[in-house]
Structures are given as structure tokens and as C-alpha cells.
Structure 1
Amino acid sequence: MNSFTDNFTINGVTLTAQPICRQNEVLTPDALEFVAKLHKATAERRQELLRARQERRQQISKGQDPRFLAETESIRNDPEWRVAPPAPGLEDRRVEITGPVDKKMTINALNSGAKVWLADMEDSSTPSWRNVIQGQLNLTDALERRIDFTSPEGKEYKLRAAEELPTIVVRPRGWHLPEKHMLIDGTPVAGGIVDFGLYFFHNARRLIAQGKGPYFYLPKIESHLEARLWNDIFVLAQDLLGIPQGTIRATVLIETITAAFEMEEILYELKDHAAGLNAGRWDYIFSLIKNFRTRGPRFVLPDRGQVTMTQPFMRAYTEQLVRA
């Protein structure tokens, strides 16, 4: 165990959780200083964007349908701009596997033969302090090929030798989720900044040396301005570590009804850091229910098993994503 006690402060970051084994390897003074810089540069804007979410939800509940933005029409109509070309390790994404970043899943995913592993620190991972820190350790250990696991039944799990691992794409938590165990000036750091910042700080150079790079899936985005905030974090993070701009690549999950009307704008904001869009079925359905639940029979859905991708409103959303 390390020597941390509750409410221990390092470089302005206060840690309130009971410490776990090896957390000193993740929560180094330099890493915490890096996370603090990302937080301080973006905390106020993040809160403004979260308030804008609430305001937009209230407008929809009162009868205002989401729409394509008039103020960004020039972006949608401009045929000249393009996002960056595929980054090393992201050229072929025909088979992707996803799952949490616990030891067993990490090893199984990397042994799966998939082209990409979506290392999920969001929906499939309960954000307990142990899971947050152990997940970071597992990712670094995997990149160093020193990870192994023995089940309670005695079954051993190890990375296959001499095989190229799938490209790792990390999904950090969404903008709405705080990390209550990490405070700066009494305010929780955004869970997404913790997940992104610690992984990027410890592994960006390691990934580049292995011929790939730090890649991410961005969940729960509701507007192009939220994508702009992520892009600003990417720019700052690369500058702080002296890594060339555009090294980071991010795939955006379009899984909210409002983001569906801003797909081109989201790509435009990320531009040099964009690795494409992906459709998130279940969260998209939930977003529709959450936003339109007070709008009467027009938005009543059948049993969720019948809400497939062939339903007209789901097909329209995926076709718009492909066009973007």
C-alpha cells in the first residue's frame, strides 16, 4: 500500500478515497499536476455546457424540436474541409470488441484477434476508485506486456506472445460525470478528464513508440460545443507534453438526439483529431425518451426489443451519420 491518507493533497489535487495498491504509479505528482492544468483550463466552460444541456432539454419538453443549426449551415454546406486521414492502427476497424478495463477483460480483449479494443471506462465500468485506478494500471501493464490474471478457480490468463495487440481506443466518462474522489479547490474534477488525462500522461509516448497513438471514444456528447471543449483539451494536453498536434484521435459516439443534428459540426470541431463517428443505439433511444417524455403519444415507443435499427427514426439517424 502507499502512504496516502484521506484528503491528501498533491500539487493542488486533493485525493479523498481510501488508497489502493500501486496507486502511486498512477497518481504521481507530475500526473496530478497535468490533470489539474486540464481541469483549470476547462472547468468553467464544462459547467456552462452542462447548464446549456438543461436549458435545451427544457426547451424540447415545452415543444421545441431539435433542429439543424442555422448559424453553422456554412460548415454543413462547405465541401472543401475534411477530417484527418486514419491514424496508424485505425486504418482497419472492421472488427471491434468492447468491454471494461478489469484484468480479465483486458487480457481476453487483447487476445481476441479483433482489430480494435474499445477499453471502456464509461458504461461498462462502475467508477469506483478501485476500478478507476486499477483500470489505468491494467492499460499500462498491457502496453508493457506484463499483465496476467488468475481466477479464483485457478485459471490463468496471459497475453499471447509475439502477436500484435489490437489497437486500444479508450472511452473516458462523459462530461456529466464528476470524479468525487479527486478535488481541486473543493470542486470535483470531471471524470472524463481524470480518465483521459491519466491515460494520456502515462501512455502517449509509449503508444507512439509502439507505432500507434493515444486514441479515444467520446461518449454522451450533446453538441458541437462539447466537442470543441474536448478538442481544446487535446490541444492543451499535446502542448503540455510536447507531442505533435493531431497525434490524438477521437471517435465520437452519436448517442443523443441533439448531437444527431450536429454531426458535421462535431467532426469540424475535432477536425485534425477526428477518427470518425459511431452510432450508439441504446443511449440514443434513451436520449429520445428523456427529451420527449412529456410530449404525448407522438413519442410513445413499443417494447424496446422492437426498437431496432430498421425503425424509421433509427434508420434516419444512421443514414445521417453515414452521410456525415
Structure 2
Amino acid sequence: MSGSEGGQLPAGEKALAGKVALVTGGSRAAGRGIAVQLGAAGATVYVTGRTTRAQRSEMNRPETIDETAELVDAAGGRGIAVQVDHTSPEEVRELVARIEREEGALHVLVNDIWGQASEPEWDKTAWESSLDKGLRLLRLGVETHAITSHFALPLLIKSPGGLVVEMTDGTNEYNATNYRVSFFYDVAKGAVSRMAFALAHELEQYGAAAVLLTPGWLRSEAMLDGFGVTEENWQDATKAIPHFAISESPSYVGRAVAALAADPDVARWNGKSVSSGELARIFGFTDLDGSRPDAWRYIVEVQDPGKPANITGYR
């Protein structure tokens, strides 16, 4: 597919002008990157989450939905921050009612809420893991997606060409054959994958698309903090973690969502499991540094087989 067939937009073109998007879990990381890139394409973006300048969620991170909305504005879109706890059906119902009152339509829904409220219990079995933490993870990372889809999709299908993006970690192909580091993490990612599959079946008759999308090794704020680097000097972390060289900024997966939303034949993506790197090859966009990291191909072909870190041909 060439750029003229839905690839990288010409400078200044606002392919999503007049479109309305809801990005849940938009305080930080992939959610923030997606919201900003949808704004850069001209969309009105409702950014939801629990962390505002006045109140932090249990994640206890400094990033806020207010900041994300301001970044959407700065990128050329219109950002609207709404504090919402997506475990609350009443709050989500009111959110969607507000979008309908104010905009009259919803064209893009990004379910990006994640349930890691504390340090992950990696490499622990179901019986070794904290049950309370595990169930909380499932509630935040799975139940929230179901609640949001329940209330938002009746509005989304009123307009032709709607797009639902279920955010996950790992492609269907990879996750089908790989244990994902702990029982609860594995179950959560599998559930979101199945949600995308079920929604694809249900949305097909409306000409809409449900897509399962994974970033690669994402340079989220928490990831950068954990490695003791910033977005400006992130490559310093490769001295200790060489495979981190394949990592990508949140803007990269944001551009993937914007490209999907701008595709005039978005229905062709219905039911697909895709990665940011795969979509970059198809649509022609790049990460902020001009590269096209293809993390999941790299993980399968280099990292998992235990080969020395070498990103040649992978970004």
C-alpha cells in the first residue's frame, strides 16, 4: 500500500478533522501517545482516566489527563479531559451521554485502560500470586473495557466507518504460544484479545472495525523512570539492557491508531491483530526519530532465541 492509499499524511493535512475519539486510560504511555496523534490528525479527543492535577489514582503517577488534553490541543486537535473511573457503569454512562450531547457522534473508541496498580508479580503462579492484586488487575484491565464498550458502541455505530481499538501487549500469534510472565497478566491479555474478536463479529454488520493493537517495547513514563533515563537520553539504557534498542515512543503506536482511523476502508481491518511496527510498514509512518521499529518481529527472531542485540533490519 502506498502513502496515497492511506499512508503517512501530507504535512498539514487533517485527515480526522470533524471526527470524535474517546481514548480511555489517556493519562500516560500509549493512551497519551494515541490521544495526541489523533489530535495531530485533527480529531476532537475525549481523554479519560482517574488522575487529574487535583487527584491521583492508585497508580500514584504524576501524569494527568489534563496534561494529555493540553498536548492534544498543542498538536492541532481539540482535547477534552474527563475524569472517569471506568469500573463505574454510571460514570461511563454519563461520559457517553456527554459526548453525544456535545458532539452528536463518536467515531473512534480506544480501550487502553490497564490494571497494573502496583508492582507486577512477574513469574508467579496462580497460587503464588496475591489474589487481591490479581483480581484488581482483571477488574481494571478487563472489566473496564467491557463496561466502556457496552455504553460507547451504541453511539459509535450510528456513524459509518467506526473504529474500536483494543490495546494489548503482544500479537495474537505471539500470545497464543507464549506464556506471558504470570497467570493474571496472561489471562488479562488473553481476555482483551477475545474481546476484540467478539466485537469484530458484532460490529461487522455496521461497517465498523474492531482491531487488536499492540505497541512494541514501549518507552512509557514508568519504563523510562525504571531504567533511570528520559525520552531524550533513552539510548543510555541500552548499555545495561541491549535489546531496549528496539523500543519505541508512545507516539509510534499513536500514529498507528491515527492511520487506522483515517483509512477510508477501515472495515478491512475488522478482526485483525496488528502491531505498531506492522502498520508502519503498511501505512508508511515513522516513529519520532524517523525510524520504523518492528519490535515483535525482533522479539521472535532475535530476543527470544537468545541472540545478541542487533537492530539492523528491524528499525
TM-score w.r.t. the length of structure 2 is 0.34
Which of the pair is proportionally richer in strand? 1
Larger Rg: 1
